[in-house]
Structure 1
Amino acid sequence: MEQEYKLVDNAEAKQFEFDLGDSIAKIEYIRAKEKIYLTHTEVPESHGGKGIGSKLIKQTLEHIKAEDLTLVPLCPFVATYISKHPEWKTLVLKGINIA
């Protein structure tokens, strides 16, 4: 059975998190009014290769959409995810080109 994770918006640390039990996977962000800049994604090495990063990004994008924020994906991993899942390009700030 596939592991489910619950997204936590840790506003104090300015990051979205998954509690992995022994560690945390995170996406760091900067929020400025109606824009959110995703700056860095990190999954502990011990949890790498399990799709956790992709699940974290997907839930983060769902949160951003629900909050009606405009996304500026500065993290290359997030930008790559969006290029592979173009349905999320509608969240991205106009003028930012994601191949």
Structure 2
Amino acid sequence: MGMSDTVTDNPAMSRFELDVNGQTVFATYRRRGTILHIPYVEAPPSLRGTGAAGRLLEGVMAIARAEGLTIVPICGYAANWMHRHREHHDLLAR
């Protein structure tokens, strides 16, 4: 991950954001205590298939790990991504 892959938390909009060349990939969330629900991941059409959403989720995992949160991936993309990345299975809310 390069320095350009900095995922930021935008609490006002309840979403994590990743800026890619002036465009924003984002994942909306709801916090319930230490559980992070991710209902939606969105990438602009021009960024689809570039791995931008995956880099966004890597950043979200790092934030969750640092803050001691677990994740409920409601969004199909997030659920499939977490399923494929075994190194993050410990972050799945039980």
- TM-score of the two chains, using structure 1 as the length reference: 0.86
Give 1 or 2 for the bigger CA radius of gyration. Answer: 1
Distance 1:63 1:26 in 2: 14
For this pair of structures, how many residues does the alignment match? Answer: 93
Q: Secondary structure at the match of 2:79?
A: helix
Q: Note the aligned Cα RMSD (angstroms).
A: 1.5
Structure 1: which 4+ aligned runs deviate by more than 6 Å?
Answer: none
Long gaps (5+) in structure 2 = none
Long gaps (5+) in structure 1 = 95-99
Normalized per residue, which structure has more strand? 2
Q: Which amino acid aligns with 1:26?
A: F
1:50 correspondence with 2:50: yes
- TM-score of the two chains, using structure 2 as the length reference: 0.90
Distance 2:3 2:49 in 1: 14
Percent of aligned positions with the same letter in both sequences? 26
1:69 correspondence with 2:69: yes
Tell me: higher relative CO, structure 1 or 2? Use CA pairs within 8 A at least 6 residues apart: 2
